[in-house]
């Protein structure tokens, strides 16, 4: 089984954070430097209930890095977002995509 082979490659700690993918989590690229977590939540809440919103910031300058994450409590929110061809927030076209765990995409 493929699942057994992939799980054998990673240590099994049995914690909930080891879930390979959260189907309700989206990567949001192309954010304006002015976009805040509150603004992101306000825009995406029309697609469903939101558990978590993060705008990623540079640890030194505290300036936005131009991307963030939105986690819907129900994965159907992701589908609703993806049905629209374009999204605009704070005067910029943003690029929402299904989020994948970082280790699934090695550099």
Within-domain flag for 90: yes
Instruction: Provide the domain limits for residue 86.
Output: 22-100
Number of domains in the chain: 1
**Contacts within 8 Å (CB) and 24+ apart, 3-12:** 10/103
Within-domain flag for 3: no
For 7-42, b/e burial (b = at least 16 CB within 10 A) is eeeeeeeeeeeeeeebebbbebeebeeebebebbee
Q: Is the pTM of this model over 0.85?
A: no
Mean pLDDT by runs of 10 across the 107 residues of the chain is: 40 43 93 96 97 96 96 96 96 95 62
Within-domain flag for 107: no
What is the number of residues in the chain? 107
């Amino acid at each position: 089984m493929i699942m057994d082979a992939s799980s054998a490659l990673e240590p099994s700690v049995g914690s909930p954070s080891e879930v390979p993918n959260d189907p309700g989590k989206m990567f949001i690229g192309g954010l304006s430097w002015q976009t805040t977590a509150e603004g992101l939540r306000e825009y995406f809440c029309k697609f469903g209930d939101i558990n978590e919103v993060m705008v990623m910031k540079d640890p030194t300058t505290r300036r936005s890095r131009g991307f963030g994450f939105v986690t819907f409590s129900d994965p159907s929110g992701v589908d609703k977002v993806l049905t629209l061809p374009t999204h605009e927030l704070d005067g910029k076209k943003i690029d929402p995509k299904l989020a994948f765990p970082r280790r699934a995409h090695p550099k």
